[in-house]
Amino acid sequence: MQSDKMQMNKGDLEVFRDKTRSPEERARDLINRMTLDEKVFQISTQIIFDVLGGEYKEKRDYRLGSFRNPGHFMHWKDKKTSSPSEVARFINRDVGKSVEANRFGIPAIENGEALHGAQWGMATCFPQPIALAATFDKQLVSEVADVIGKEVAAAGVRQVFAPVVNISRDCRWGRTMETFGEDVLLVSDMGEAMCRGFQSNGVIATPKHFADNYADGGRDSNESHSSWRTLYEVFLPPFRRCFQEGGAMSVMAAYNAVDGVPCSCSEKLLTKILRDEWGFNGFVVSDYNGAEDVCNAHHAADTEVKATAMCIKAGLEAPLPNSSVGNVKEALEKGYLTEKDIDRAAYRILKTKIAIGLFDDPYVDEDTIDGFIRCEKHKETALRAARECLVLLKNESVLPFDKSKVRTVGVFGEGADTVPVGDNYSGPYQGWRADDAYTPLGYLRAFLGEKVNIITGKDAEIPEKAPGCDICLYFTKMLEGEGRDRCNIRLSREMRTFETENSGGMIVDQVRAEDGTDQESAIVAMAKANKNSAVVLLNGAPIDMTPWIDTVPAVLEAWYPGEQGAQAICEALFGLVSPSGKLPMSFPKSVGQLPLYYSFKPSGRGYHYNENDGNPLFEFGYGLSYTEFRTDNVSCSVNDNGLTVEYDVENVGKYRGAEVVQIYLQSRNCGVVRPVSELKAYKKTWLESGEKKRVSVKLGKEAFRYYNAGLEYGLFDGDHTVSLGTSCKNIFYSFEVRVRDGALICGDRT
């Protein structure tokens, strides 16, 4: 197809090449010069997995606007990971061919995953997002994101499908490890930090999955039952923050339906909220096959052609992962789409390519990247993140172990001999790998040295081997992740194999189970056989510990702490560092409590199950330390921007450590029901033994804003209790604040 627009004369100024012009001006000029065919190609993409001898098994269409090459990140024949320079060379080659394939030299965007590190086997692998959230350290997460952004950009990947800013309030959802937990503020802070890190390095951040990505029972991609109030109050704010403060220039629509409309073709989500209300100025991509599944899974259209058209008209620019050219052309021929629809979509993509500098400088340096990816500085950042994500859940004077008194160590559990990075988005679809990465067992051997005897064995051998050890450790293993939602949140005792299929949106039996290790019985056996025992949890979501928690003296929640996690775990077990992490999710006593989260709204009657009081096993914000802190001398002052809360915090224990003071709000008399408690600020403070600091935390007026009965957002009248604590339940100081006519008034202190 040819555009009806007249092509400009060759003598006209090529505004699109003028670097002094704005991305908007340059993109508009390009659109006016392009044929309809050329614009259609710009909104389409291609993913190729299979590579043989450095060449694609299937034909690459270099006219397309974006592509993805996971096949180039692995030598599939011998299962070896490609080097960074090989990855960069592959991408440079493809970008060059894409520049040559169109009249205007428009490079394609190489996109990829970067959930907790660039998804190559050789890139720095950080803790999973749920673990990063446990640091309660936005600055550290900013540094992590900056490293990821730099490593991504160095290879030529210019768009990443991250971060995941869905809020997880049901840990049965298999993708909980990809999230930053249950709290609106914490998820928003971490999402913003990740987006800033990506975008500051010229990499397009793509928060996902817009907007509410799981449903009742933690079932992934099932229809959302959230009201618009719940969406506006809980599930939408992290996305808004990513765009308005994190600078994210793209977003991925979710698979599921909201209010009866698939997210991929929801005009309310993709245009009215995203663009009209929030001022989003980037472009929207579908989740993989999300556009086609408006037809195939949701049955909201009778053909993929019509479904693709519905998505583009609603505000989706790029259907992923494979070429939509055929569907779009047919939709144009049948009148489902107009050239104006294509112009709008292509313009938004082209403008973004220009804004990140891809159009003017599309190539990367292949010669320096090998010494840059996973350099010592980057690995040190990964180690700091791994140290800070560890949460000490229980300690009956067992930890830390005294290395000088240990001669025999029992190490049990399937997690002991696995590099603790987690399965989700770690490495090039074959598992993250590096020659210098340790398993917990491997690092313990190096750390303790040859004079210490490390005894291992199967779980059935624990009663025999554990009694003779000075200390015993059990490292758990979980089966969870994308496509692995759970109905049971106890430690896995079965091995499962999966057959993944779409099944047209229907639920089918995809699991085959076989008998495996009974981890719970093994933990109980270890604790009974040896009183100097500790359990190290390697997991991405809360688990039910009630069958064994009372028998073990110490539990360390390590999550999936990344490539440096084994060292961090070992340092914590032997007191080289004191755990400082706090829980970003409530840990239930049993699956029957789910969904469970601290920021619920009050019941009309106020009682729980007759078998359960409704309290979690470990609450949101909880985390122990090897040292002790004293926090006092709290003061509050009101200013034009909100409140400033100050307090003294002192380390009165023996170890260097960090305390996270959390500030919560309990609101009433607002005309609408408010949550019983909401986190509104937090501050992590590191202190040497005996050190004391005066800490200042700002609580802006934004903390007191809410949606009224008409779903209007503003600073309305209300009465609020501001509470300081070390978890959502462990509150040590409170004071009252009233809002009247837009002014904050401090009241009595308690």
**CATH number reported for the structural domain that contains residue 430 in this entry:** 3.40.50.1700
Question: What's the pLDDT tens digit per position in 136-182?
Answer: 999 999 999 999 999 999 999 999 999 999 999 999 999 999 999 99
The stretch 253-280 carries a mean pLDDT of: 97
Task: Say if residue 420 is in the same domain as residue 552.
Answer: yes
Location of structure tokens 């768009």: 159
Spatial CB neighbours of 610, under 8 Å, sequence gap ≥ 6: none
Does 23 sit behind a cis peptide bond, omega within 30 degrees of 0 on the bond before it? no
End-to-end CA, the chain: 73
Distance of CA 576 to the CA centre of its chain: 29
Two structure tokens written together for 733: 């100081």
Biggest alpha carbon–alpha carbon distance for the chain: 87
Name the amino acid, one letter, at 192: E
Lowest mean pLDDT among 36-40, 55-59, 588-592: 55-59
Rg over CA atoms, the chain: 27
**Does residue 232 form part of some domain?**
no
Angle between helices 138-155 and 84-100 (to 10 degrees): 60
Question: Does residue 351 lie in a domain region?
Answer: no
Q: Do 549 and 636 belong together in one domain?
A: no
Question: Which of residues 252 and 57 earns the better pLDDT score?
Answer: 252
Q: How far apart are CA 297 and CA 75, in angstroms?
A: 34
Structure tokens given for 220 = 């992934």
**Overall residue count recorded for the chain in this entry:** 750
Same domain, 641 and 718: yes
**Integer Cα distance of 115 and 135 in angstroms:** 16
Domains: count for the chain:
2
Q: Which residue has the tokens 């690459």?
A: 60
User: 395's torsion region: left (phi>0), alpha (psi -120 to 50) or beta?
Assistant: beta
Q: Render pLDDT for 538-574 as a digit per residue (tens, 0 to 9).
A: 999 999 999 999 999 999 999 999 999 999 999 999 9
Q: Identify the burial level of 90 via C-beta atoms within 10 angstroms of its C-beta, where 0-12 means exposed, 13-18 middle and 19 or more buried.
A: buried
DSSP tally for the chain: helices H, then strands E: 18, 33
- Going through 564-677 in order, the beta strands assigned E by DSSP cover 629-639, 642-651, 657-668
The whole-number pLDDT of residue 612 equals 80
Q: CB neighbours of 300 closer than 8 A, spacing ≥ 6?
A: 261, 262, 265, 294, 307, 310
- Can you give the pLDDT at residue 79? 66
Cis previous bond, 209, omega within 30? yes
Counting residues of the chain whose pLDDT is more than 70, the rounded percentage is 92
* pLDDT score, position 432: 87
447 and 573 both lie in a single domain: yes
The β-bridge partners of 683 are 661
The residues, any chain, with a CB within 8 Å of residue 385's CB and separated by 6 or more, are 126, 127, 131, 132, 135, 140, 141, 144, 561, 562, 564
pLDDT at 8: 42
429 found inside a domain: yes
Task: Calculate mean pLDDT across residues 416-430.
Answer: 87
What's the rounded Cα separation, in Å, for the pair 628 and 625?
Answer: 7
Give the per-residue pLDDT at 59: 84
CA dihedral 341, 344, 347, 351 (to 10 degrees): -150
- 471 belongs to a structural domain: yes
**Tokens in use for 390?**
């560890």
Full domain range(s) for residue 681: 629-749
Query: Could you tell me if 564 and 466 lie in one domain?
Result: yes
Please give the full DSSP string across 684-710, using - where no structure is assigned.
Answer: EEEE-TT-EEEEEEEEEGGGG-EE-TT
pLDDT for res 714: 97
Q: How much of the chain exceeds pLDDT 90, in percent? A: 83
Q: Is 45 helix (H, G, I), strand (E, B) or coil?
A: strand
Q: Is residue 509 over pLDDT 60?
A: no
* pLDDT value for 2: 41
Q: How far is CA 95 from CA 35, 160, 252, in A?
A: 21, 17, 23
Band the pLDDT of 121: cuts 50, 70, 90.
Answer: confident
Are both 577 and 489 inside the same structural domain? yes
Cα separation, 481 vs 539, in Å, equals: 10
Please, how many CA atoms are within 13 Å of residue 546, restricted to the half-sphere of its CB?
A: 12
Band (51; pLDDT cuts 50, 70, 90): low
For residues 577 and 638, membership in a common domain is answered with: no
Asked whether residue 535 is domain-assigned, the answer is: yes
CA 2 to chain centre: 43
User: How far apart are the C-alpha atoms of 319 and 313, rounded to whole Å?
Assistant: 12
Q: How far apart are CA 16 and CA 1, in angstroms?
A: 23
Between 360 and 494, residue with greater pLDDT: 360
Residue 748 has pLDDT above 90, yes or no: no
For residue 22, how many other CB atoms are within 10 A of its CB? 13
- Per-residue confidence at 53, pLDDT binned at 50, 70, 90? low
Same domain, 589 and 640: no
Tens of pLDDT, residue by residue over 76-97, are 566 678 889 989 998 999 999 9
Closest CA to 155 of 416, 422, 366: 366
Query: In terms of Cα–Cα distance, which of 582, 747, 551, 738 is closest to 658?
Result: 582
| Residue 9: pLDDT over 50 | no
What gap in Å lies between CA 138 and CA 221, rounded to an integer? Answer: 29
Mean pLDDT, residues 359-385 taken together: 96
Residues 664 and 738 in one domain: yes
Helix (H, G, I), strand (E, B) or coil at 148: helix
pLDDT at residue 5, as a whole number:
41
- Listed in sequence order, the residues at least 6 apart from 538 whose beta carbon sits closer than 8 Å to its beta carbon are 415, 418, 420, 475, 476, 477, 478, 558, 559, 560
Residue 629 pLDDT class (50, 70, 90 cuts): very high
Res 702 pLDDT > 80: yes
Mean residue pLDDT across the chain: 92
**Residue 156 located in a structural domain:** no
pLDDT at 424: 85
The answer to whether 537 and 557 are in contact (CB under 8 A) is yes
- Burial label for 375, CB within 10 Å (0-12, 13-18, 19+), is middle
Q: Calculate the CA 744 to chain-centre distance.
A: 35
Position 615 pLDDT exceeds 50:
yes
Does pLDDT of 325 surpass 60? yes
Q: What is the pTM of this model?
A: 0.95
Structural domain contains residue 192? no
Whether residues 477 and 528 share a domain: the answer is yes
Give mean pLDDT, residues 499-510: 54
Of 539, 567, 593, which residue sits at a domain end? 593
pLDDT at residue 496, rounded to an integer = 55
Bridge partner residues of 409 (DSSP) = 454, 471
Find out whether the peptide bond into 211 is cis, omega within 30 degrees of 0: yes
Of the three residues 543, 577, 593, the one that is the final residue of a domain is 593
Residue 544 shares a structural domain with residue 415 = yes
Give the CATH number, domain containing residue 730. 2.60.40.10
- Name the token pair of 726: 């070390």
Name 712's Cβ contacts closer than 8 Å, sequence gap at least 6: none
Rounded CA-CA distance 376/384 in Å is 12
Mean pLDDT of 634-649: 94
Alpha-carbon gap, residue 617 to 14, rounded angstroms: 65
The CA-CA-CA angle for residues 502, 506, 511, to 5°, reads: 70
722 touches 735 (CB < 8 A): yes
For 572, list phi and psi in degrees, rounded to 5: -70, -40
Domain membership of residue 484 (yes or no) is yes
Q: 688 and 586 in one domain?
A: no
